[in-house]
Amino acid sequence: MNQIVLDHVSFRYPNGFLANEDLNLVIGQNEQVAIIGQNGAGKTTAVKLMNGLNKPTKGTVLINGMDTKEYTTAQIAKHVGYVFQNPDDQIFNQTVYDEIAYMPKYYKYDENEVKKRVHEAVDIMQIREFLKSNPYEIPYTIRKFVTIASILVVEPKYIILDEPTAGQDLNGTKILVDLLSYLQEKETGVITITHDMEFVADNFKRVIVMANKHIIADGTAKEIFSKDEVIAESKIKRTEMGIIGNELNLGKDILNPKELVDAVKNRMGD
Ligand SMILES: Nc1ncnc2c1ncn2[C@@H]1O[C@H](COP(=O)(O)OP(=O)(O)OP(=O)(O)O)[C@@H](O)[C@H]1O
Ligand SMILES: [Mg+2]
């Protein structure tokens, strides 16, 4: 059974800055989890602990039973794939095809298999037309999809998406929603960092909130948004509908238009 376990984990950068303190977390087989929280809370640092890019300064990280301190990042990458927050930190090939084909070639899949997998991955991300492009000459949001495809292509058991929604329009967000369904069907776990609260409320049953180096809440979106103290400490904001519902004293945990309409009708005694 697949599992990511963080057991009393702290992480200090080489310059001495403590970015994560005493994180405790279990992410089970094919769970889809959102991580939210203000800039600088320690989200990216925490997910890099989950694929071995960061090794804990204190505590233990176990990936499917493997202690990350005892394995290389390349070994862990088969279990947990990390899509970087900034695609430019990840991309290093001259064409989109070569970028996505890099990992399957590294794992020595035969040529036909590499081709087949690359084509599957670009179709999921809807970027086939860019296969021959230079990754640095395509828009940021497409470049981000290239980095997602380049992780998808080796089918890790968990995929970490660090701010995939940043800058995406409705169509881009729809591609990400479809990606989550696809990964659910393939029983792939997903950890998504995002600042898009609508995306969180609509797509994730489990939400983890980070603030100032710590995990301060872990539950459903409704549970999270019900707690004023969690919202204040993490400086997250409710969904647009949630803000209106809260302002009108219709409830703190309204997430979407339907719930807002229902609450208004209820108030009017309908
Ligand atoms: N390489 C580094 N060396 C020292 N400090 C770092 C390093 N990388 C990040 N930090 C600091 O660690 C803290 C947490 O950073 P992190 O990138 O994990 O936050 P985040 O929650 O992902 O924020 P954002 O929403 O802006 O992406 C920040 O104060 C950041 O400045
Ligand atoms: Mg970050």
Residue 141 carries which side chain, given as an amino acid letter? T
Tell me, in angstroms, the distance from the centre of ligand 1 to residue 266's CA. 44
The tens place of each residue's pLDDT in the chain, 270 residues long, gives 789 999 999 999 999 999 999 999 999 988 999 999 999 999 999 999 999 999 999 999 999 999 999 999 989 999 999 999 999 999 999 999 999 999 999 999 999 999 999 999 999 999 999 999 999 999 999 999 999 999 999 999 999 999 999 999 999 999 999 999 999 999 999 999 999 999 999 999 999 999 999 999 999 999 999 999 999 999 999 999 999 999 999 999 999 999 999 999 999 886
Residue nearest to atom 9 of ligand 1 (CA): 45
Whole-number CA gyration radius for the chain: 20
Identify the structural domains of the chain with CATH numbers, from first to last.
1-79+156-236 (3.40.50.300), 92-151 (no CATH), 238-270 (no CATH)
> Which of 193, 212, 162 lies closest to 41, judged by CA?
212
Q: Are strands 18-27 and 189-193 parallel, antiparallel or unpaired?
A: unpaired
Tell me, in angstroms, the distance from the centre of ligand 1 to residue 19's CA. 7
> What's CA 259's distance to the chain center, in Å?
26
Count of alpha carbons within 13 angstroms of residue 145, beta-carbon side? 28
Write down the pTM of the prediction. Answer: 0.96
Residue nearest to atom 2 of ligand 1 (CA): 13
Q: How far, in Å, are 51, 64, 77, 160, 189 from residue 47 at the CA level?
A: 7, 15, 13, 7, 13
Ligand 1 binding residues, C-beta < 6 A: 13, 15, 17, 19, 37, 39-45, 85
Residue nearest to atom 17 of ligand 1 (CA): 44
Tell me, in angstroms, the distance from the centre of ligand 1 to residue 194's CA. 15
Residue 197 carries which side chain, given as an amino acid letter? M
Q: Are strands 58-63 and 66-67 parallel, antiparallel or unpaired?
A: antiparallel
Query: What whole-number distance in Å separates Cα of residue 218 and Cα of residue 107?
Result: 36
Q: Which of 21, 35, 43, 51 to mutate to test the pocket of ligand 1 (most atoms within 8 A of CB)?
A: 43
Give the pLDDT score at 270: 66
Q: Which of 9, 11, 13 to mutate to test the pocket of ligand 1 (most atoms within 8 A of CB)?
A: 13
Beta bridge partners of 25: 6
